[in-house]
Amino acid sequence: MNPAFMPPRDSPGVARPLADKEPAPLTLGDCIQIARANNPSLASGGWDVQVALAQRDNKASERWPNIGGSARYNTYLQNQRIVPVRKNNDPGMFSTSQFAGDIILRMPLFTWGRIRSEISAADFAALAATNRLARTWEELIFNVSSAFYTILGQRPVIESLQFSIKALETRRQKALDMMRVGKGAKVDVLRTEVRISDVEQKLVREETVLEIQRRALATLMGVDGLGGPVQIRGSLKTNRSAPDLNGALAMAYAERGDYRAAKDSVDALGWKVAAARATRWPSLSLAGTYGTRVAAGVTDNGAVFIDKQIGANPQAPNPNAPPAQKLYQSPGVSTSLPVGNIGVVAEYPIFDGGKITAQIHEQESKLASAQANLRKLWLQIRLDVETALLNVDSARRRVRATQKAIEQSKESFRIESQKYDLGKGSITDVLDAQSAMLDAETTNYRALVDYDIALAQLGLATGEKR
């Protein structure tokens, strides 16, 4: 996994405020890097990768011996032997209260490929999570770029509206002066004031859009904005080139995180199908225990049985001779005995009510669904790339067209203003020319923004990363 995508260990997902004192204007690259360090979605995706890696380690652990311990204490209604009989006439220790402690070993020897298939499935699931994180990063780059370019485009739009208001106020004063000397009508002043009000409400709307985009950019960057609105610097350009369709498609199918994640998911499900099928066959395991049994509250320690054996045996030594009695001693009469076993366990499902068949069918259905979704994504990627390329071309041509319209509208406004000043034109023509000039400038800035956003959209469609 790329370490750059990992969430911070100290405080994942915690927003970091910008500097308290007049932060320096940020470039697009600065904004992207800050977002990379602070964006909560990226941090969440990093932890999702950690979950997938932990699940893979969990599956891999099944290959190794499992050693554990158990302890239990039992009280019985009737006397029980501490250990089973091991030979004929074997004396034993009996008690109604017993303690047992064991070390338990279990190790898979042969599972028909089930464990290996589950590990492979977990490997591809981890790769899918990593690639989904990469796609989150691609989307974050696009969203930050889109907000950044929108802010860049809003500023000249606002400046144009502010300039228009000043120009209209000058024109209103001119209309008032001409009305005082009898060369103009009051209706000219009224029409100018109406146009000023219209431009002012447009200015309020565009300023609101700018503030919203600033806050959206701060949110994407993962900062709380306590240091003030995000200040940026940059310019809108149309000199960046776009790749051809075939090159863009090749890059998209090779680089897009969601497409690679979808392919990894298909591979993971393929291994899950193999693991489900393996459960139909026998499995072998090594199993063993070693522990101790301890009796408490002994009711019969075997001494009576030994005495009877000595008395019934004419060849037995004198009962008063303790060393001879040792011939009849047995570990079974000890209050603490070690026990243990080791062996091979074979397990084979004979009848499970169709559970294994249903599990296989479930995984096969998931695999078929994932394959269909992969095909759907393949088609969607082609549409995304083609759409982005068309948007880039359309925005470029709009920029060129609106640049010519700006020059023409400025000249038209100059002519109509001179005509009105000379008393040969109407205020309506002047206002219309001024409105056309404002619309041309605004449309040009919008086209510039759309061009840069279209390029960012193309980067998103092709999986370009920074």
Would you call 87 exposed, middle or buried from its count of C-beta atoms within 10 A (0-12, 13-18, 19+)?
A: exposed
Q: What is the pLDDT of residue 228?
A: 65
Q: What is the pTM of this model?
A: 0.80
Helix H or strand E encompassing 284: strand 283-300
Give the separation between CA 417 and CA 450, rounded to whole angstroms: 32
- Backbone phi, then psi, for 231, in 5-degree steps? -100, 130
* Listed residue (411, 441, 433, 444) closest to 195, CA to CA: 433
- Backbone phi, then psi, for 273, in 5-degree steps? -65, -45
Q: What is the pLDDT of residue 329?
A: 55
What's the rounded mean pLDDT across residues 76-95? 83
Q: Domain boundaries in the chain?
A: 3-63+113-280+355-462, 67-110+283-347
Residues 8/40, Cβ–Cβ less than 8 Å: no
Which structure tokens are listed for 124? 């591809």
Q: Identity (one letter) of the amino acid at 254?
A: A
| DSSP three-state, residue 293 | strand
Query: Mean pLDDT score of the chain, rounded to an integer?
Result: 85
Q: Where is pLDDT greater, at 14 or 87?
A: 87
Q: Where is pLDDT greater, at 6 or 404?
A: 404
* Listed residue (47, 114, 141) closest to 464, CA to CA: 141
Q: What is the pLDDT of residue 359?
A: 95
What's 118-164 look like in SS3?
A: HHHHHHHHHHHHHHHHHHHHHHHHHHHHHHHHHHHHHHHHHHHHHHH
Give the separation between CA 20 and CA 465, rounded to whole angstroms: 31
Task: Give the pLDDT band (50/70/90) at residue 84.
Answer: confident
Q: Is the pLDDT of residue 19 over 50?
A: no
Radius of gyration for the chain, computed over Cα atoms and rounded to the nearest angstrom: 42
Give the number of other Cβ atoms within 10 Å of residue 174's Cβ: 19
Q: What is the pLDDT of residue 4?
A: 44
Q: What is the pLDDT of residue 312?
A: 58
Where do we find the tokens 């306590």?
Answer: 226
What's the rounded mean pLDDT across residues 115-122? 96
- Backbone phi, then psi, for 115, in 5-degree steps? -65, -45
Residues 55/121, Cβ–Cβ less than 8 Å: no
Q: Is the pLDDT of residue 271 over 70?
A: yes
pLDDT per residue as tens digits for the range 140-183: 999 999 999 999 999 999 998 998 898 888 888 887 887 787 76
Task: Give the pLDDT band (50/70/90) at residue 28.
Answer: very high
Q: What is the pLDDT of residue 1?
A: 43
Q: Is the pLDDT of residue 5 over 90?
A: no
Would you call 90 exposed, middle or buried from its count of C-beta atoms within 10 A (0-12, 13-18, 19+)?
A: middle
DSSP structure string for 35-104: HHHH-HHHHHHHHHHHHHHHHHHHHHGGGS-EEEEEEEEEEEEEEEESS---STT----EEEEEEEEEEE
Q: What is the pLDDT of residue 305?
A: 67
Q: What is the pLDDT of residue 15?
A: 43
Percent of the chain with pLDDT over 70: 86
Q: What is the pLDDT of residue 118?
A: 95
Which structure tokens are listed for 106? 């279990």
Give the number of other Cβ atoms within 10 Å of residue 417's Cβ: 19
Q: Would you identify the CATH topology of the domain 3-63+113-280+355-462?
A: Outer membrane efflux proteins (OEP) (1.20.1600)
Q: Where is pLDDT greater, at 21 or 188?
A: 188
Largest CA distance in the chain: 156
Ranking 248-262, 338-352, 397-411 by mean pLDDT, the lowest is 397-411
CB-based contacts of 48: which residues, under 8 Å, 6+ apart?
129, 132, 133
Which structure tokens are listed for 448? 């510039």
CA dihedral sign of residues 33, 37, 40, 43: positive
pLDDT per residue as tens digits for the range 286-299: 999 999 988 887 77
Percent of the chain with pLDDT over 90: 56
pLDDT per residue as tens digits for the range 338-392: 889 999 999 999 998 999 999 999 999 999 999 999 999 999 999 999 999 999 9
Task: Give the pLDDT band (50/70/90) at residue 307.
Answer: low
What's 327-386 look like in SS3?
A: HHCCHHHCCEEEEEEEEEEEECCCCCCCHHHHHHHHHHHHHHHHHHHHHHHHHHHHHHHH
What burial letters (b/e) apply to 305-335, b meaning 16+ CB within 10 Å?
bbeeebeeeeeeeeeeeeeebeebebebbbe
Q: What is the pLDDT of residue 300?
A: 73
Give the separation between CA 132 and CA 324, rounded to whole angstroms: 80
Q: Where is pLDDT greater, at 203 or 324?
A: 203
- Backbone phi, then psi, for 334, in 5-degree steps? -85, 150
Q: What is the pLDDT of residue 180?
A: 80
pLDDT per residue as tens digits for the range 174-230: 878 877 877 667 888 888 889 899 999 999 999 999 999 999 999 999 987 655 678
Task: Give the pLDDT band (50/70/90) at residue 331.
Answer: low
Give the separation between CA 456 and CA 153, rounded to whole angstroms: 15
Q: Is the pLDDT of residue 9 over 60?
A: no
What burial letters (b/e) apply to 281-292, b meaning 16+ CB within 10 Å?
eebebeebbebe
